[in-house]
């Protein structure tokens, strides 16, 4: 799946880890750095660097938690939402192309993985 997704996210200037964070943020609501690190299974310093890059690229932004002013939450920016929509659209098209192509066991497996990824994009 990473092989199929990597060229699509790279074309958007987003790393694999960056994509995982964007997809998590796309599910709604702000997320703390601890939530991001736990959900993406990244060490906290790595998650911080990934979020720093997303913020610098204006794909995400940080805001103080309105409930707990000591916490900072990361949110998906408009540019990040556009990236998620473009990547998910490309993945869905690739899945359709793979399903429609002549079937070999490898193509069937790729189509199944792409369908799973496309479903994750939708939710």
Kindly report, residue by residue over 30-84, the tens digit of the pLDDT. 999 999 999 999 999 999 999 999 999 999 999 999 999 999 999 999 999 999 9
Name all domains of the chain by residue range, CATH numbers in brackets.
Answer: 2-122 (1.10.10.10)
Which pTM was predicted? 0.76
pLDDT above 70 as % of the chain: 80
* Backbone phi and psi for residue 13, each to the nearest 5 degrees, phi listed first: 75, 25
Structure tokens, 95 = 């899945």
What is the pLDDT at residue 31? 96
Per the CB < 8 A criterion, the answer to whether 12 and 80 are in contact is: no
Mark 10-32 as b/e (b = at least 16 C-beta within 10 Å).
eebebeebbbbbbbbbbeeebbe
């Amino acid at each position: 799946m990473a092989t199929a997704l990597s060229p699509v996210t790279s074309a958007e200037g987003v790393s694999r880890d960056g994509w995982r964070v964007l997809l998590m943020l796309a599910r709604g609501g702000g997320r703390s750095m601890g939530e991001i690190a736990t959900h993406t299974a990244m060490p906290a310093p790595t998650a911080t660097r990934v979020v720093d890059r997303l913020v610098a690229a204006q794909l995400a932004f940080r805001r103080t938690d309105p409930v707990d002013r000591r916490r900072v939450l990361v949110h998906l920016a408009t540019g990040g939402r556009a990236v998620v929509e473009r990547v998910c659209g490309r993945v869905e098209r690739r899945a359709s192309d793979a399903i429609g192509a002549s079937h070999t066991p490898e193509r069937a497996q790729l189509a199944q993985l792409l369908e799973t990824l496309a479903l994750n994009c939708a939710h």
